[in-house]
């Protein structure tokens, strides 16, 4: 039986369309998933929408439509973007799905109760709907949440609390021992420092009369499960946890990796493992934490007007070009910047002059001179012949490093063509010239195989050109000239 690999994206808030930061997360996850498929593993990629949030209710009411209608529209946009980006997800979970998600959320709650970790308390605090979390006075700037620019709601209410503090030590131990690996090291240290200061118990429910969406607390419908408690459970409920049909849960849990942005580290590295420990379930093996995509050095935000809509980039350059930029120019370990200008420049350098040109050059020679030879490129499903540093980079989540290695392999091949000048050689010594072109085609084939996780369509296109021994009719990536829009 092949090794299984369960990888997840966070579930996205469907209160607005996804921007390039979200697209970065899903692209990264898809590249990793495809890499693991290439290794012959049985991969399960989960993504979805975090729908039980007041943000959606507010957005729908602003748009003047019913919440359900609003959600369906935004989710259709999510899926359409994922299709354009070739995100090969196995399941898209919607947490408002009463059949798929609710039983798991309720089962988790029952287990927390069973462990004696849920307690009703009266609570007074400041709630930020943007964060979907209580925040403290000291987080505010001029009385407002600095991230969302809104005055938080002052709440005094009865909530069920989860005894998170009880798990501080155990979670810390699991992270230190590597049972729960947090990558990169900087994020591991960040969460260990937080755990060192101690965790406080968290409010895990809201009065149902104050929230309009969500999963009711089992046995007390006057309370609704807190959106983060409910959202985290998606990683289990999608697999059938809490339902009779839980074959996927048995097969794929614990997750191999949750890939998240740095802003939701605390939820995933403190609250989530504590919930799983309380519910007596195994912890995910790894959390991979990426940075933020900025534009012009600033966090993308609607107020600053620097949000880049991935759909616009795709319309102009294609989904593969967006994948390549994100893989090649954004470090998965830190924040990374993109502007429309830097994107165009990179597109021309990496794709038009790079892969596109290289493929045309080699395949033109092959078409002209190899039509009566029979080069067979072996289709192998394993990772034979692929450089080991490329594989190692992927195993270390260094998608940028792996992509740089393919880029270098392409430059090396380009230089080799300049230096060996097969088009001249063939005129002097036909057989030697042909042998050289065959070698170049073989190297191009290896590059196509390496490109498989990063540029699945282009990889296939190059393989087909090789198989059919012809050059592309139009360049794989036509050059963009200065007066083009975007
Ligand atoms: O946090 N660059 O949803 P979300 C990179 N529903 N990543 C970014 C980014 C940027 N500029 N902006 C956002 C939520 N992200 C919850 C998750 S999971 C059980 C619940 C990332 O739609 C962000 O870091 O606000 C997060 O990982 C993801 O997008 C979803 O953000």
Q: Above 90 in pLDDT, residue 134? A: no
pLDDT at res. 166: 97
Q: What residue has token string 């959606």?
A: 56
Using the mean position of ligand 1's atoms as its centre, give its distance from the Cα of residue 292 in Å: 9
pLDDT, greater one: 161 or 376: 161
Query: Using CA positions, which residue lies closest to atom 26 of ligand 1?
Result: 261
**Among the listed residues 190, 185, 54, the one whose alpha carbon sits nearest the alpha carbon of residue 128:** 54
Q: Above 90 in pLDDT, residue 295? A: no
Q: Above 50 in pLDDT, residue 373? A: yes
- As to burial, measured by CB atoms within 10 angstroms (0-12 exposed, 13-18 middle, 19+ buried), residue 98 is exposed
Q: Above 60 in pLDDT, residue 155? A: yes
Using the mean position of ligand 1's atoms as its centre, give its distance from the Cα of residue 437 in Å: 47
pLDDT, greater one: 376 or 407: 407
Q: Above 80 in pLDDT, residue 372? A: no
Tell me what the mean pLDDT of segment 251-280 comes to.
98
Q: Cβ < 6 Å from ligand 1: which residues?
A: 10-13, 21-22, 24-25, 50, 231-232, 234, 260-261, 263-264, 292-293, 300
Using the mean position of ligand 1's atoms as its centre, give its distance from the Cα of residue 408 in Å: 32
pLDDT at res. 145: 87
> What are the chain's domains?
339-468 (1.10.730.10)
Average pLDDT over the chain reads 93
- Counting ligand 1 atoms within 8 A of each CB, the residue from 25, 289, 308 with the most, and so the one to mutate, is 25
Render pLDDT for 444-478 as a digit per residue (tens, 0 to 9): 999 999 999 999 999 999 999 999 999 999 999 99
Q: Above 80 in pLDDT, residue 376? A: no
> How does residue 238 score in pLDDT terms, banded at 50, 70 and 90?
very high
Range 454-462, long-range pairs (CB < 8 A, 24+ positions): 454/31, 454/323, 454/324, 454/327, 454/399, 454/402, 454/403, 454/406, 455/320, 455/323, 455/324, 455/355, 456/34, 456/86, 456/88, 456/320, 457/86, 457/319, 457/320, 458/320, 458/355, 462/359
Packed helices 456-467 and 430-451: angle between N→C axes, nearest 10 degrees: 150
Q: Above 60 in pLDDT, residue 177? A: yes
- Counting ligand 1 atoms within 8 A of each CB, the residue from 21, 230, 267 with the most, and so the one to mutate, is 21
Cis peptide preceding 428, ω within 30 of 0: no
pLDDT at res. 303: 65
Render pLDDT for 384-418 as a digit per residue (tens, 0 to 9): 678 899 999 999 999 999 999 999 999 999 999 99
Secondary structure letter of residue 356 according to DSSP: I
Q: Above 90 in pLDDT, residue 146? A: no
Q: Above 90 in pLDDT, residue 375? A: no
Render pLDDT for 100-129 as a digit per residue (tens, 0 to 9): 999 999 999 999 999 999 999 988 888 888
- The minimum-distance atom of ligand 1 relative to the CA of 10 is 18
Query: Using CA positions, which residue lies closest to atom 22 of ligand 1?
Result: 12
> How does residue 271 score in pLDDT terms, banded at 50, 70 and 90?
very high
pLDDT, greater one: 300 or 116: 116
Q: How far apart are CA 299 and CA 281, in angstroms?
A: 36
Using the mean position of ligand 1's atoms as its centre, give its distance from the Cα of residue 11 in Å: 8
Render pLDDT for 420-449 as a digit per residue (tens, 0 to 9): 999 999 999 999 999 999 999 999 999 999
Backbone angles phi, psi at 280, to 5 degrees: 60, 45
Percentage, residues of the chain above pLDDT 90: 83
Tell me what the mean pLDDT of segment 309-335 comes to.
97
Residue 58 Cα distances to 72, 89, 346, angstroms: 15, 29, 39
Using the mean position of ligand 1's atoms as its centre, give its distance from the Cα of residue 22 in Å: 6
- The minimum-distance atom of ligand 1 relative to the CA of 263 is 24
Tell me what the mean pLDDT of segment 190-205 comes to.
95
Using the mean position of ligand 1's atoms as its centre, give its distance from the Cα of residue 434 in Å: 52
Q: How many Cβ atoms are within 10 Å of 167's Cβ, its own excluded?
A: 22
Query: Using CA positions, which residue lies closest to atom 8 of ligand 1?
Result: 21
Threshold 0.85, pTM exceeds: yes
Q: Above 90 in pLDDT, residue 381? A: no
């Amino acid at each position: 039986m092949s090794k299984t690999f369960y990888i997840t994206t966070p579930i996205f808030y469907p209160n607005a369309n996804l921007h390039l930061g979200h697209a970065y997360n899903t692209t990264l996850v898809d590249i990793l998933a495809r890499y693991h498929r290439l290794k012959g593993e049985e991969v399960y990629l989960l993504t979805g929408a975090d729908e039980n949030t007041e943000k959606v209710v507010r957005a729908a009411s602003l748009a003047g439509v019913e919440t359900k209608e609003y959600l369906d529209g935004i989710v259709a946009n999510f899926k359409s973007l994922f299709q354009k980006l070739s995100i090969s997800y196995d399941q898209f979970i919607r947490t408002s799905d009463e059949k798929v998600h609710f039983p798991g959320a309720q089962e988790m709650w029952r287990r927390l109760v069973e462990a004696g970790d849920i307690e009703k308390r009266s609570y007074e605090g400041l709630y930020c709907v943007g964060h979907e979390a209580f925040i403290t006075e000291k987080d505010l700037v001029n009385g407002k949440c600095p991230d969302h620019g809104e005055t938080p709601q002052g709440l005094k209410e009865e909530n069920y609390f989860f005894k998170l503090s009880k798990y501080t030590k155990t979670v810390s131990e699991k992270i230190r021992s590597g049972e729960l690996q947090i990558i990169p090291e900087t994020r591991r240290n960040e969460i260990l420092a937080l755990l060192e200061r101690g965790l406080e118990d968290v409010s895990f429910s809201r009065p149902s009369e104050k929230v309009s969406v969500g999963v009711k607390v089992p046995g007390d419908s006057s309370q609704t499960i807190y959106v983060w408690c409910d959202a985290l459970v998606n990683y289990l409920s999608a697999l059938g946890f809490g339902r009779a049909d839980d074959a996927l849960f048995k097969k794929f849990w614990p997750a191999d990796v949750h890939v998240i942005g740095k802003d939701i580290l605390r939820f995933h590295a403190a609250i989530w493992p504590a919930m799983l420990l309380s519910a007596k379930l195994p912890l995910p093996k790894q959390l991979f934490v990426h940075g933020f995509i900025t534009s012009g050095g600033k966090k993308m935000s609607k107020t600053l007007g620097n949000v880049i809509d991935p759909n616009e980039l795709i319309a102009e350059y294609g989904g593969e070009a967006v994948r390549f930029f994100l893989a090649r120019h954004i470090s998965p370990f830190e924040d990374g910047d993109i502007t429309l200008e830097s994107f165009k420049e990179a597109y021309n350098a990496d794709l038009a002059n790079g892969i596109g040109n290289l493929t045309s050059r080699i395949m033109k020679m092959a078409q002209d001179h190899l039509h009566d030879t029979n080069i067979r490129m072996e289709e192998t499903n394993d990772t034979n012949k692929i450089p080991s540093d490329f594989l190692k980079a992927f195993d270390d989540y260094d998608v940028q490093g792996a992509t740089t290695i393919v880029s270098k392999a392409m430059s090396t091949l380009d230089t080799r063509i300049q230096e060996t000048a097969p088009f001249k050689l063939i005129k002097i010594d036909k057989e030697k010239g042909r042998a050289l072109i065959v070698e170049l085609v073989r190297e191009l084939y290896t590059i196509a195989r390496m490109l498989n996780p990063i540029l699945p369509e282009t990889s296939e296109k190059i393989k087909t050109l090789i198989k059919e021994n012809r050059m592309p009719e139009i360049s794989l990536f036509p050059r963009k000239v200065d007066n083009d829009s975007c």
